[in-house]
Amino acid sequence: MIAVPRLITPGVIATELGAPLHRVLHVLATRRHIRPRAKAGTIRLYSQTAIAQVRHELHAIDARRGEGVARD
C-alpha cells in the first residue's frame, strides 16, 4: 500500500498554530525555504513539516519584536 502524504493549506496551518491567517501568509510569502509541496489550481499545499517551520518563524518574529518578554 502506498502512503499518501497529507498536504495542508495555509488556513489549516493557521488553525493548528492558533495564529492569524495573515501572519501565516506573510511567513509563507517571505521565507523562501518554506515551499509548497503541491499546488491545486491557485491553492498551495504544504507538508506537515511546514507547520513546525512556520511556528519557528513566528516565534522568531515575536522574539525580535520583544513580544512575550516580561517587562518591568
Is the residue at 2 inside a domain? no
The pLDDT of 43-69, averaged and rounded, is: 89
Q: What CA–CA distances, in Å, run from 33 to 25, 43, 48?
A: 14, 18, 14
Is the residue at 70 inside a domain? no
Is the residue at 72 inside a domain? no
Is the residue at 71 inside a domain? no
Q: Which domain holds residue 44?
A: 10-65
**Does 69 have pLDDT greater than 70?**
no
pLDDT at 72: 42
Is the residue at 3 inside a domain? no
The pLDDT of 29-34, averaged and rounded, is: 94
Is the residue at 24 inside a domain? yes
Rounded distance, CA 17 to CA 72, Å? 29
Is the residue at 1 inside a domain? no
Cell numbers for 58: 513566528
Cell numbers for 62: 515575536
**Does 45 have pLDDT greater than 90?**
yes
